[in-house]
Amino acid sequence: LKSLALRVSPQEVMEVRLQIEPALAGLAALRANDKARVVFAQATAATLAAKNQPSYDAADDIFHYKIAEMAQNPLFLTVYESIRTVRAQASWASTRAATYSPEITTILGHQHQTLADAILNGDAQAATQAMTIHLRCVSDTLLQAQEG
């Protein structure tokens, strides 16, 4: 995946994430067990409590990974793990941190809470929609930074 990480752009990664992660969120809402929901609620709280960009990035990574796990589909999880690896290894990964102002991080945190509420309430449609809105916001932020 390292060679792939060198060839893909943030826009290309976001195109794939927008196709995969809303489906994962919907499945997570339907399939997560009680223990996974407790862990996920803690992961959500960590994104909201992050005091700086590195702690937010770490919490965000765990938040999205927990959603993929809760979908309880090993093939989807493997696809998500590939996306996660490419994101971590990409040469532009450090630019993500530079594009997130405290205001953007707050907005993304609130979107996480909305998404988490939908998943924790078992509402697959709302979870799918919330993930789509969240990832579009992330994508727009990254693209604006590239243009700026």
The model's pLDDT over 33-88, given as tens digits with 9 standing for 90+, comes to 999 999 999 999 999 999 988 899 899 999 999 999 999 999 999 999 999 999 88
- Compute CA distances 110 → 11, 25, 94, 107, whole Å: 23, 16, 23, 5
The pLDDT, as a whole number, for residue 15 is 96
Read off the pLDDT of residues 107-138 as tens digits, 9 standing for 90 and up: 999 999 999 999 999 999 999 999 999 999 99
24: helix, strand or coil: helix
**Strand, coil or helix: 52:** coil
CA distance 104 to 122: 27
pTM: 0.94
* 97 pLDDT tier (thresholds 50, 70, 90): low
How confident is the model at residue 58, as a pLDDT? 92
**Residue carrying the six token digits 């205001």:** 103
